[in-house]
C-alpha cells in the first residue's frame, strides 16, 4: 500500500480530502439521479443521468483510493453507505434538494466549473492514481460545464419566466458558493505536498468562466467579497442541512435494514 510510508498526518489529510470530494460527487450524483424519468424533456432524461453517472463513477474511484490510503479495509461501499451523517463531508450545495430545473442546472454549473479547474490542476498530482483520475474527470467536467452553461444561457435569455426562475435560483445558491473555496489544515497540507490543489486557488478562474457564461445569460454574480462574508459553511465538518438525513435514509436504506449482506 502506498500509504504505509506516509506520516500519519499526511496520510490522514489525503484520506480526508479524497472522501470530501467523493462525498460531493456521490451526493450530487444522487440528487441528479432523482430527475431520471421526470425531466422537462426526453433529452434531459438522458443528459442528467449521464452527468450523474459520471459523478458516481468519480465518487467510486475516489472512495476506492481513499480506502486504500486509509488501509482499514473499507471499500467504496463501506465509505459510501455505512457512515453516520456527521461523517459525510460534502459541500452543502450538493445536498440541496433539486428545486426546479433552473436551480438544478445552475448548481451543477457552479460545481462543474469548479471541478473542471480543480481536476485540471489535479492532473499534476504527486499521486499517480489521483493524477489519472483527475485527467479523466477533467474531460467529463468540461462536458458538464458545456451542457449546463448552454441551459443557463437559454434560461437566462429565454422567456421572462425562465429568467425569473434562474434569478431566484441564483439567489438561493449564492450563499453556498463560499464553501467551494474554503481552506483548512487538510487542504493546506495536501496543497503543500502537491497531492491536490488548494480549493481557494480556483477562485479567479472559476469567477472568469462564470462571468463569461452569466454575461450571455444576462445574469450578474454578486461580488467576491459578498460571497466570502455571506457564505454558509459546515459541510466539510459534517454539519449538514435538515434535508441530508432524508437523503441518507434513502441512500442507506438497504444497507441499514439488511446489514452485512452481499448485493
Partner 1 sequence: MYSQGLNESNLASAETPEFLAEFQARIDADEKIEPNDPMPQAYRQTLIRQIGQHAHSEIVGMLPEANWLTRAPTLRRKTALLAKVQDEGGHGLYLYSAAETLGISREQMTEELLAGKAKYSSIFNYPTLSWADMGAIGWLVDGAAIMNQVPLCRCSYGPYARAMVRICKEESFHQRQGYELMISLCNGTTAQKDMAQDSLNRWWWPSLMMFGPSDSDSLHSDQSRLWKIKRFTNDELRQKFVDATVKQAQHLGLEIPDPQLAWNENKNDGAGGYDFGEIDWDEFWRVVKGHGPLNRERIAARTKAWEEGAWVREAALAYAEKQKSANTDPNNLAQKVS
* CB nearer to partner 1: pick between 86 and 146: 146
User: How far are the Cα atoms of 115, 118, 184 from residue 107, in angstroms, in the given order?
Assistant: 12, 17, 23
Distance (Å, whole) CA 65 – CA 59: 10
Minimum CB separation of residue 52 from partner 1 in Å reads 6
Give the DSSP letter of residue 221.
P
- Does residue number 161 form part of the binding site for partner 1 (CB under 8 A)? yes
Q: 247: which 3 cell numbers? A: 437523503
User: How far are the Cα atoms of 31, 100, 103, 109, 252 from residue 42, in angstroms, in the given order?
Assistant: 18, 16, 19, 20, 29
* CB nearer to partner 1: pick between 52 and 173: 52
Minimum CB separation of residue 168 from partner 1 in Å reads 12
User: How far are the Cα atoms of 33, 101, 108, 158, 191 from residue 78, in angstroms, in the given order?
Assistant: 21, 32, 26, 45, 27
Binding mask 67-86 for partner 1 (x = CB under 8 A): ---------xx--xx-----
Residues 238-257 that bind partner 1 (CB under 8 A): 247, 250-251, 253-255
Q: 35: which 3 cell numbers? A: 430527475
**Site of interaction with partner 1 (CB under 8 A):** 26, 30, 33-34, 36-46, 49-50, 52-53, 56-57, 59-60, 63, 76-77, 80-81, 100-101, 142, 145-146, 149-150, 153-155, 157-159, 161-162, 165, 209, 212-213, 216, 247, 250-251, 253-255, 258, 261-263
Amino acid at each position: 500500500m502506498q500509504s504505509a510510508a506516509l506520516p500519519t498526518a499526511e496520510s490522514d489529510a489525503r484520506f480526508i480530502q479524497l472522501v470530501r470530494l467523493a462525498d460531493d460527487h456521490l451526493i450530487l450524483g444522487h440528487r441528479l439521479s432523482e430527475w431520471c424519468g421526470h425531466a422537462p424533456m426526453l433529452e434531459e432524461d438522458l443528459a442528467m443521468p449521464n452527468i450523474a453517472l459520471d459523478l458516481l463513477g468519480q465518487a467510486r474511484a475516489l472512495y476506492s483510493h481513499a480506502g486504500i490510503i486509509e488501509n482499514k479495509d473499507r471499500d467504496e461501499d463501506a465509505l459510501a453507505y455505512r457512515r453516520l451523517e456527521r461523517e459525510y463531508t460534502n459541500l452543502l450545495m450538493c445536498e440541496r434538494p433539486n428545486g426546479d430545473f433552473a436551480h438544478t442546472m445552475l448548481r451543477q454549473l457552479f460545481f462543474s466549473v469548479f471541478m473542471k479547474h480543480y481536476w485540471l490542476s489535479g492532473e499534476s498530482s504527486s499521486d499517480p492514481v489521483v493524477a489519472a483520475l483527475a485527467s479523466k474527470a477533467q474531460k467529463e467536467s468540461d462536458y458538464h460545464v458545456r451542457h449546463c452553461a448552454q441551459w443557463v444561457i437559454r434560461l437566462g435569455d429565454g422567456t421572462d419566466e425562465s429568467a425569473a426562475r434562474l434569478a431566484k435560483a441564483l439567489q438561493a445558491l449564492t450563499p453556498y458558493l463560499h464553501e467551494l473555496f474554503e481552506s483548512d489544515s487538510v487542504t493546506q497540507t495536501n496543497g503543500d505536498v502537491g497531492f491536490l490543489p488548494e480549493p481557494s486557488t480556483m477562485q479567479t478562474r472559476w469567477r472568469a468562466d462564470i462571468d463569461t457564461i452569466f454575461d450571455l445569460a444576462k445574469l450578474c454574480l454578486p461580488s467576491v467579497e459578498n460571497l466570502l462574508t455571506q457564505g454558509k459553511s459546515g459541510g466539510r465538518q459534517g454539519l449538514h442541512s435538515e434535508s441530508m438525513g432524508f437523503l441518507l435514509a434513502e441512500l442507506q436504506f438497504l444497507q441499514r435494514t439488511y446489514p452485512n449482506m452481499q448485493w
